[in-house]
Structure 1
Amino acid sequence: MGRGPSIAARKGAEDARRGKLFTKFIREITVAARTGGGDPKTNPRLRLVLDKALAANMSKDTIERAIKRGSGAADDASFEEIRYEGYGPGGVAIMVDCMTDNPTRTVADVRHAFTKHGGNMGTSGAVSYLFSHVGQIFLDAADGLEDKVMEIALDAGADDVLSEAGFIEVITTPEALEGVKQALIDAQLLLVQADVMMRPATMVNPGEHAEQVQKIIDMLEDLDDVQKVYSNADLEHA
Structure 2
Amino acid sequence: MGRGPSIEARKNATDAQRGKVFTKLIREIGVAARAGGGDPANNPRLRTAMDKALAANMSKDVMERAVKKATGELEGVEYEEVRYEGYAPGGVAVIVDCLTDNRVRTVADVRHAFSKNGGNMGTEGSVAFMFKRLGVLSYEGGDEERITEAAIEAGADDIVAYPEDGAIDVLTTPESFEAVKQAMSAAGLAPGYAEVGFRADNDVAVSGDTALQVKKMLAMLEDLDDVQNVWSNADLGDAG
Shorter chain as denominator, the TM-score bin is: over 0.9
Decide which moves more: 148-157 or 60-69.
148-157
In structure 2, the residue matched to 1:100 is 100
For structure 1, the residue ranges without an aligned partner over 5 or more in a row are: none
In structure 1, the residue matched to 2:231 is 230
SS for the counterpart of 2:237 is coil
What letter corresponds to residue 181 of structure 2 in structure 1?
Answer: K
TM-score for both structures, normalised by structure 1: 0.96
In structure 1, the residue matched to 2:88 is 88
Paired with 2:237 and 2:69, the residues of 1 have a C-alpha distance of: 40
1:211-235 Cα deviation digits (max 9, x unpaired): 0001111100110000000011011
8 Å contact 2:206–2:237 — kept in the other structure?
A: no
8 Å contact 1:130–1:200 — kept in the other structure?
A: yes
Tell me how far 1:69 sits from its aligned partner.
1.1
SS for the counterpart of 2:90 is coil
8 Å contact 1:141–1:163 — kept in the other structure?
A: no
Identity over aligned pairs, percent? 58
For structure 2, the residue ranges without an aligned partner over 5 or more in a row are: none
In structure 2, the residue matched to 1:148 is 146
In structure 2, the residue matched to 1:216 is 217
Tell me how far 1:202 sits from its aligned partner.
1.0
Tell me how far 1:154 sits from its aligned partner.
1.6
Give the length in aligned residue pairs: 236
1:150-165, aligned counterparts within 5 Å? 150-164=148-162, 165=164
Tell me how far 1:174 sits from its aligned partner.
1.3
What letter corresponds to residue 237 of structure 2 in structure 1?
Answer: E
Paired with 2:123 and 2:190, the residues of 1 have a C-alpha distance of: 40
What letter corresponds to residue 180 of structure 2 in structure 1?
Answer: V
1:21-170, aligned counterparts within 5 Å? 21-142=21-142, 145-164=143-162, 165=164, 166-170=166-170
Does residue 7 in structure 1 map to residue 7 in structure 2? Answer: yes
TM-score for both structures, normalised by structure 2: 0.95
Tell me how far 1:190 sits from its aligned partner.
4.4
Tell me how far 1:11 sits from its aligned partner.
0.3
In structure 1, the residue matched to 2:197 is 197
8 Å contact 2:135–2:197 — kept in the other structure?
A: yes
What letter corresponds to residue 34 of structure 1 in structure 2?
Answer: R
Tell me how far 1:147 sits from its aligned partner.
2.2
Tell me how far 1:60 sits from its aligned partner.
1.3
Tell me how far 1:31 sits from its aligned partner.
0.3
Paired with 1:217 and 1:161, the residues of 2 have a C-alpha distance of: 27
8 Å contact 1:90–1:207 — kept in the other structure?
A: no
- Give the aligned CA root-mean-square deviation in angstroms: 1.1
What letter corresponds to residue 228 of structure 1 in structure 2?
Answer: N
Paired with 2:17 and 2:121, the residues of 1 have a C-alpha distance of: 26
SS for the counterpart of 1:191 is coil
Paired with 1:190 and 1:181, the residues of 2 have a C-alpha distance of: 7
